[in-house]
Amino acid sequence: MSSGDFVLDPRLAANTQPVVTLPMCDVLLMDDARYAWLVLVPRRNGMVEIADLSDRQQAELWQEVGRVVAKLRSVTSCEKINIGALGNIVRQLHVHVVARNQGDAAWPGPVWGHGKAEKYESSRRDALIGRLQRALT
Amino acid sequence: MSSGDFVLDPRLAANTQPVVTLPMCDVLLMDDARYAWLVLVPRRNGMVEIADLSDRQQAELWQEVGRVVAKLRSVTSCEKINIGALGNIVRQLHVHVVARNQGDAAWPGPVWGHGKAEKYESSRRDALIGRLQRALT
C-alpha cells in the first residue's frame, strides 16, 4: 500500500490540524487548547495495534515518537510528557504525545476522555503549529 | 549505576507483584483484578521521561514493550492493548501495558485514575503471573 492511498480516520481528521509529515507518520495537532497535544499516525491502512507492525516498523515509529517528544518538550517547556497508544474508540493506530503541566485541565489524570475539547483561537493555534513545524523539520 | 543499586519507587512496589526481569526492565503486574495490567520499569535510577534515555536505550525499552504487548495479548486474548507512559504522579520512568476488553471497568476510557483497584484473589493472581512468566521467558 503506497502512502498515497492512506486514509486518515475521519474522527482524527475532524479534531486535528496537520503539523508535519515524518517518514513514517503524519503528525497532527489536536484542536484542544487545554493541552499541547500531538498525535502520530503511521501512514499504513488497517493497522490497529503496535504489534501489527513489523519489529522494524515499530522501531521506526518509536523513533519518530522520540523525536516528537523532544521537540514538543522544547517548544512548550512543559513539566511532563504523556505518551499513549490506546485506540479503544478510534481503532486506526495512532500514538498521543501530550505536554502536561501541574494544574492543567486533567492534571494529574490522563487527558483521554476528560471533559470537552476547547477549540483553539485560530491565530494561537497557527502560531503553535508554526513553532512545531520549525522544530520538527 | 549497576542494576544492583536500582530502587523501585515505593508506590509502584506497593501496588504490584514482580513477573519477570527483562534485560532492561522489571516487568510488574498491577494488583488490580479489573484488568490484566503490566508495568515495565527500566532499572535506571533518576529516569523520568523517555527522552532521558539515549536513543539506543529508548529502542531497547520499546523492544521490550513490544515483546510484553505480544505476550500479554496471547495470554489474555484481549480485544485491545493500551500502552501508556504518563508519570504525572509516580515520576520514576515506567510504561504501562494493559489488556482491555469491551465492558471492562473503564471501557472505553483509560484505566489510569479510574475508580479503585480491586485486589486479586491470590491464587488467581499467581496463576496469571505463572502464565505470563512462561510466555515471557
- pLDDT value at position A46? 94
Give just the sign of the alpha carbon dihedral A61, A64, A66, A69.
negative
Smallest CA-to-CA distance from B50 within A95, A108, A54 is with: A95
Residue B13 pLDDT > 90 = yes
pLDDT digits (tens, 9 = 90+) for B94-131: 999 999 999 999 999 999 999 999 999 999 999 999 99
Q: Is B100 on the interface with A (CB under 8 A)?
A: yes
- pLDDT value at position A114? 96
- pLDDT value at position A80? 98
Secondary structure (H, E, C), chain A: CCHHHCCCCHHHHHCEEEEEECCCEEEEEECCCCCEEEEEEECCCCCCCHHHCCHHHHHHHHHHHHHHHHHHHHHHCCCEEEEEECCCCCCCCCEEEEEECCCCCCCCCCCCCCCCCCCCCHHHHHHHHHHHHHHHC
Distance from CA of A83 to the nearest CA of B (A): 5
Instruction: Give ∠ CA B62-B64-B65 in degrees, rounded to 5.
Output: 60
Q: How many CA atoms lie within 13 A of A133 on its CB side?
A: 11
Q: How many CA atoms lie within 13 A of A95 on its CB side?
A: 28
Question: Taking CA atoms, what residue in B is nearest to A67?
Answer: B51
Provide mean pLDDT across the span B21-45. 98
> In this complex, which of B58, B86, B100 lies closest to A66 when CB atoms are compared?
B58
Please state, in angstroms and rounded to a whole number, the distance separating the CA atoms of residues A73 and A61. 18
- pLDDT value at position B10? 97
Cis amide leading into A108 (omega within 30): yes
Tell me if B108 and A85 make a contact (CB, 8 A cut-off): no
> In this complex, which of B50, B107, B112 lies closest to A88 when CB atoms are compared?
B107
Give the mean pLDDT of chain B: 96
- Are residues B108 and B85 in contact, defined by beta-carbon separation less than 8 angstroms? no
- Are residues B60 and B123 in contact, defined by beta-carbon separation less than 8 angstroms? no
- Are residues B17 and B105 in contact, defined by beta-carbon separation less than 8 angstroms? no
pTM: 0.96
- pLDDT value at position B4? 63
In this prediction, residue B1 has a pLDDT band, given cuts at 50, 70 and 90, of: very low
Question: Taking CA atoms, what residue in B is nearest to A108?
Answer: B88
Q: Is B81 on the interface with A (CB under 8 A)?
A: yes
Tell me if B88 and A66 make a contact (CB, 8 A cut-off): no
Q: Which residues of B touch A51 (CB under 8 A)?
A: 66, 69-70, 73, 81
- pLDDT value at position A4? 63
Low pLDDT (below 70) residues in chain A: 1-4
Tell me if A63 and B59 make a contact (CB, 8 A cut-off): yes
- Are residues A66 and B70 in contact, defined by beta-carbon separation less than 8 angstroms? no
Question: Taking CA atoms, what residue in A is nearest to B79?
Answer: A88
Q: Is B85 on the interface with A (CB under 8 A)?
A: yes
- pLDDT value at position A132? 98
Residue B2 pLDDT > 60 = no
